[in-house]
Amino acid sequence: MNLVRIISGHRALLLAGIAAGLVGAAASLAQPLFVGILIRAVAEGDSISGPILWIVGLFILDAAMSAANAYLIGRAGENIVFDVRNLLAGRLLRSRVAAFQRMESGDIFTRMVGDTTLACMVITQALAQLVSSLFMVVGGVIFMAWIDWQLLVATLICLGAASLVSLVIARQVRVASLVNRTDTSAFGSGLQRVLGAITTVKASRAEARETERLEGLADSARQSGIRVTALGALLQPAMNVGTQLSLAVVIAWGMARVTTGELHAADLTAFVMYLFYLVSPLVMLFLALGQIQQGRAAVQRITELAELPQEEEPQAAGAAEDSTRVEMVDAAVAFESVWFSYEDGSPALRDVTFSVPRTGLTAIVGPSGAGKTSLFQLVERFHRADRGAVSVSGVDVADMSLDQLRTKVGYVEQDAPLLRGTIRENLVYARPEAEDRQIEEVLRLSSLKDFVESLPQGLDTELGERGLGLSGGQRQRLAIARTLLQQPEVVLLDEVTAHLDSDTEAALRDAVIDAAQQRAVVTIAHRISTVLRADRIIVLDRGAVRAIGTHAELMESDEVYRRLAEQQLQASGVQ
Ligand SMILES: Nc1ncnc2c1ncn2[C@@H]1O[C@H](COP(=O)(O)OP(=O)(O)OP(=O)(O)O)[C@@H](O)[C@H]1O
């Protein structure tokens, strides 16, 4: 991500804001000159209305331009934050699953919400501040030199010493605020950790322990926050001491020279006014430099997020239909000598070869950790095979656009996540244009019709986070209905019957068999009842295909299958 490019996209507003700031600063700088003229006019008995009008005019211009500067720069900052968040949200949702899973969700949240604001606002405001403060300081010094260079030297010595002290303090403020930001972020992550598992915390009677841990984290944030405040509180007084010192020197020495006639009282007044005008921009200058440093750290964190590797689209997506047809054209899904390992693990799939016909029910069985879910994740192209080819409807998944692929394949995950929103919104998530008639049909197929009709709000019932308000089984059936509504050519079901009672399971099994008449349904099965009605069963063990066949064939020929089947038969009480 190029932040400079985004910022330069809003240069018109930024430049207008900076220009307003500079005009305001120029109006400020001109005021003491006219105060000097006014004093001379009074002393010499000339008309004073001209200088007074100028002073009032400059004062109004200064105030108006300061307001315009704050508004324009603030507006540009908000626009930049908006652009950066849009860009990040897009890249985040299109990032590769493996890269995304490596990050902590709390951390992503802080970067998206906190760092974007900090980086963009601080950088725009601090840059604008830097320009106008610098202008004020340089302009002030030039006018002061023009009035009396000796007084200027005295002033610069006093203010210089104070600035040095301020510089040291400002640097410490910066370090302390970085520590405070890390501490605050640690508190946020700690909070997210328990909020994500609140029922586990309660069931484990860990409330007191977790409260104590959070208190510890909150206390670190409090202490580093106090340090930032304490150092910040020293900054202004340090500059004030410098100002008062220089004021004392300028007035004492200046008055002495006024008495001898060496200096006009009007010049001394103008000089003292410039002295006051110099202090605030000097403090701002140091603060702006510190803020830019803080903003740079946030930019770094945003850039890391923007550089998450993205899901790749094939070179000529769309043309894939005719090009890379692999041998098993008739297969809905085919694996050919596929090897796959997660970045940090031993191979999860080893030389896997099988094919699934365009219609019918295929069950995949195997012990826990055998690689069943990994198999599905390769079909969806959440991960890419290291070697070999995975194809859907005869086309290598690597040659299909992700949209094409994920339209053809419907996937119901193990824990069937739902989103906050109404039941209807969840149902039509993969196919927003679905008609009521089609929705009703899938509700009937997934045995949810009666349940939804019994709800006072029906399809418009609001669900909580992750489908809160539904039972585990209802959540799963809703996820299945959502996938069926998508009318995919291939349906992948992961452990979908795990939460169901036997009546609902039987109804759902019939629905799955119905669905399998027109499309390929591949289901990871732990229940023997699903396996018994499958047209073919693939036995997976330690990442490799052990055997393929019907229940009867495998009971005869495969020892692992026999063991699994016997355990499940007993577990589900079918025997
Ligand atoms: N994101 C991941 N990163 C690293 N290793 C993983 C990841 N996901 C799974 N694995 C490993 O890959 C292997 C296969 O896992 P997979 O989830 O495919 O098995 P499974 O057969 O679906 O198991 P289960 O029936 O328990 O769900 C396991 O050894 C697992 O530890």
Among 343, 349, 373, 540, name the best residue to mutate to test ligand 1's pocket (greatest count of ligand atoms within 8 A of Cβ). 373
Interface pTM, i.e. ipTM: 0.96
- Residue with CA at minimum distance from ligand 1 atom 26: 368
For residue range 213-222, list pLDDT tens digits in order: 999 999 999 9
Least confident of 13-17, 145-149, 163-167, 518-522: 163-167
| Span from the CA of 341 to the centroid of ligand 1 (angstroms) | 10
Q: Which atom of ligand 1 is nearest to the CA of 98?
A: 1
CA–centroid distance, residue 368 to ligand 1 (Å) = 8
CATH topology of domain 1-147+301-310: ABC transporter transmembrane region fold (1.20.1560)
Residue 109, CB-side half-sphere exposure with 13 Å CA sphere: 9
Q: Which atom of ligand 1 is nearest to the CA of 526?
A: 25
* Nearest residue (CA) to ligand 1, atom 24: 368
pLDDT of 124 above 70: yes
Ligand 1 centroid – CA 74 distance (Å): 49
415 C-alpha to ligand 1 centroid (Å): 14
Domains 1-147+301-310 and 323-572 are alike in CATH topology? no
Compute the distance from residue 369 Cα to the ligand 1 centre, in Å.
5
Counts for the chain of helices (H) and strands (E), in that order? 20, 12
- What is the average pLDDT across 143-170? 88
Mean pLDDT of 521-546: 87
Helix axes of 116-147 and 11-44: crossing angle, nearest 10 degrees: 30
If you take atom 25 of ligand 1, which residue's CA is the nearest one? 368
**Helix, strand or coil for residue 410?**
strand
Q: Which helix (DSSP H) or strand (DSSP E) does residue 392 occupy?
A: strand 387-392
**Cα atoms found within 13 Å of the Cα of residue 367, Cβ hemisphere only:** 10
Token code pair at residue 550 = 């019907």
Rounded to whole angstroms, the Cα distance separating 234 from 353 reads 71
Report the nearest-CA residue for atom 30 of ligand 1. 369
Q: In what order do the strands lie in the sheet with 331-341?
A: 347-357, 331-341, 387-392, 395-396
Protein residues with CB under 6 Å of any ligand 1 atom: 101, 342, 344-345, 348, 366, 368-374
Rounded Cα–Cα distance for residues 2 and 7 (Å):
9
Query: How many Å lie between the centroid of ligand 1 and the Cα of residue 250?
Result: 77
Can you tell me the distance from the alpha carbon of 170 to that of 183, in angstroms, rounded to the nearest whole number?
Answer: 20
Which CATH number, 3.30.70.100, 3.40.630.30, 3.40.50.300, 2.40.30.20, labels domain 323-572? 3.40.50.300
Q: What percent of the chain has pLDDT over 70?
A: 94
Q: Which two tokens stand for residue 445?
A: 């197929």
* CA-based nearest residue to 291, from 133, 178, 439: 178
Residue ranges per structural domain of the chain: 1-147+301-310, 149-262, 323-572
Residue with the two structure tokens 């601090």: 126
Determine the pLDDT at residue 498.
57
User: Which amino acid residue places its CA nearest to atom 5 of ligand 1?
Assistant: 342
Query: How many degrees, rounded to 5, is the angle at CA 178 between CA 283 and CA 212?
Result: 130
Cα 541 to ligand 1 centre (Å)? 12
Instruction: Please state the pTM of the whole predicted model.
Output: 0.74
pLDDT tens digits for range 261-287? 888 888 999 899 888 888 778 878 877
Residue closest via CA to ligand 1's atom 29 equals: 369
Report residue 241 as tokens. 């001491």
Q: Are 297 and 380 in contact (CB under 8 A)?
A: no
